[in-house]
Amino acid sequence: MTSPTEIGHWVDGKPFAGTSSVTAPVTNPATGQVTGRVRMAGGTDVRTAVESAAAAFPAWRDTSLAKRAALLFRFRELLNARKPELAAIITAEHGKVLSDALGEVSRGQEVVEFACGIPHLLKGGYTENAATKVDAYTVRAPLGPVAIISPFNFPAMVPMWFFPLAVAAGNTVVLKPSEKDPSASLWMAQLWAEAGLPPGVFNVVQGDKTAVDELLTDPGIKAVSFVGSTPIAQYVYTTATATGKRVQALGGAKNHAVILPDADLDLAADAMVNAGFGSAGERCMAISVAVAVGDVADDLVDRIARRTRTLRTGDGRAEADMGPLVTAAHRDKVGGYIDAAAAAGATLVVDGRGITGDDGGTGIDVSQGFWLGPTLLDHVTPEMSCYRDEIFGPVLSVVRVDTYDQALDLINANPYGNGTAIFTNDGGAARRFQNEVEVGMIGINVPIPVPMAYYSFGGWKSSLFGDTHAHGTEGVHFFTRAKAVTSRWLDPSHGGLNLGFPQND
């Protein structure tokens, strides 16, 4: 057995060991083997990273948009050529299957590509002769050093929701990834360096709450982007705004899909399995509640169950459909929700407890992996904990209602408002639903309505703290602030002769 790899930080354009001797294990969830020890930053280490970002900010702010865009394009090309490397790192530390990891990287890359258009995205307005010989215009200026605190479930995509736009807009970044899967962030930091990003513009500090609290309170950090559970999102928002920072804190979810009687039940059943069990349910856009309207429930549950039983849970490197959960503790927590649902009267249609992962014929020992298979619960009621709480695992609950109005009321009464979907062939019903439902992202015959990068991602109610969503136009506005300029020039200036074709630099 090889010794665990030591995983450190990235500060000022190079690896940084830090001063703290505290470490935490990094585990391959498919085998249960400790593969690394990640160094946990103390306050001094975080301040060193913030100071590096602050020192790099003036020069990066003054770098032309043309040069920033060119660097973003180089990063994009490197990422596109080497994304299988990043996907393999994600699978090894998170556990998700390789195809899912590749999809994660590709969705993050969409934001990189959107950020390549930063010269257009930062265009201001201009009014000539607003008063006599007075011109008025607006510009969008970067904030300074910004912090990104990302979760374990998407160690590449979630940071890429934020840092491409932050960097493109002229800010510098300190990223704090999850300590459960820390290596993807270091890989991306190295890629930035290869693309030519100046030292200090992109930094990575590993750690836990100690590092988070330092970032939330350090006066050098001007804004914080966060994705995680609702209680922590609320804590991040309250703590960081108290020190004058701009904050976008995306929290948890309990996403419902409404299946109306006229829906294509094969399409709906496929969607419920894909959206409920993909990435082992460890995503904030997972469908965790299927709301069966009218008399479709028995048929729908049967179709979902038949599909669910064909799924192979195993090592993500070996062509499995679904990988393990991220830790043994999380696996046990999810199993506890299944226990509680059965005790409360839910019907356990497909039970994922107690399974053994498939090694895919590789001979790798997966007996100690963190396995829990896809689970389907029927006759779930809103009083049950499996309905109330965000489980963050491969558990799909079916709630039966009689009418569309009952389904709508169920969703709107829920404290979360991240994503939802409706399955129907009735355009009028779909249009009514998108107008009446109190949720930030809506799918019509689409189970996971994650917007394209040029739109913004984020929910309502307890799924978002702050006014600004991720990426898209709102992301550009989050990482910049407007200046209104009024100017008067009494005499024009002129220079010498130059017959060369004008160039942007």
Q: Indicate which residues carry an active-site annotation.
A: 284
Q: How many residues does the chain have?
A: 505
Can you count the helices (H) and strands (E) in the chain? 15, 23
d(CA 62, CA 57): 9
Classify the C-alpha dihedral 281-284-285-291 as positive or negative.
positive
Alpha carbon 332 to its chain's center: 24
DSSP element (H, E) containing 120: helix 118-121
Q: Which residues pair with 137 in a beta bridge?
A: 126, 485
**Angle between the N-to-C axes of helices 183-195 and 157-168, in degrees from 0 to 180, rounded to the nearest 10:** 30
Distances in Å between the Cα of 110 and the Cα atoms of 71, 189, 345, 455, 477 are 16, 18, 44, 11, 18
Q: Are the C-beta atoms of residues 434 and 445 closer than 8 Å to each other?
A: no
Q: Are the C-beta atoms of residues 134 and 488 closer than 8 Å to each other?
A: yes
Show the tokens assigned to 148: 């990104």
b vs e for 405-436, b when ≥16 Cβ sit within 10 Å of the residue's Cβ? eebbebbeebebbbbbbbbbeeeebbeebeee
